[in-house]
């Protein structure tokens, strides 16, 4: 997968695509041309859903690495979260639209 695909998607604030790319093994440590990693981009765009997805993906990888000697294939909770998120993104995408992503709504909170 192209290393900038995930970072470009983050800048567009599409949690649904971020979820898909992470499920397909996108590198959440890849940096864009301004040397920002995906978590930094997600925090900068104030997208809590994407920040959460990235942190869960990182946690799952770390757990797999720690449990690798014991033959574990990752955390069941991780798989449940991504399955539920994928289901919500497909069937109820309006739930993923946050008012904070709208610049008009940010003005009143600054």
Question: Do the domain assignments include residue 103?
Answer: no
CB 15 within 8 A of CB 46: no
Which DSSP helix (H) or strand (E) runs through 103? Answer: helix 103-107
What is the distance between the terminal CA atoms of the chain, rounded to a whole angstrom?
Answer: 38
DSSP code for 13: T
CATH assignment at residue 77: 1.25.40.20
In this predicted model, what pLDDT tens digit does every residue of 5-41 receive, in sequence order? 676 666 666 788 888 888 888 888 888 888 988 888 8
Question: Do the domain assignments include residue 109?
Answer: no
Phi, psi of 60 (to 5 degrees): -65, -40
Domain limits for position 45 = 3-98
Q: What is the pTM of this model?
A: 0.61
CA–CA distance, 15 with 88 (Å, rounded to integer) = 11
In this predicted model, what pLDDT tens digit does every residue of 64-86 receive, in sequence order? 777 765 555 556 777 777 777 77
Domain count, the chain: 1
């Amino acid at each position: 997968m192209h290393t900038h695909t995930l970072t470009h998607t983050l800048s567009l604030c599409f949690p649904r695509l971020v979820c898909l790319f992470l499920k397909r093994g996108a590198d959440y440590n890849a940096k864009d041309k301004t040397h920002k990693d995906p978590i930094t981009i997600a925090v900068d765009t104030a997208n809590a859903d994407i920040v959460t997805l990235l942190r869960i993906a990182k946690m799952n990888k770390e757990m797999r690495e720690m449990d690798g000697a014991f033959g574990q294939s990752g955390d069941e909770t991780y798989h449940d979260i991504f399955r539920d998120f994928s289901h919500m993104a497909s069937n109820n995408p309006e739930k993923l639209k946050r008012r904070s992503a709208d610049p008009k709504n940010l003005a009143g909170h600054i």
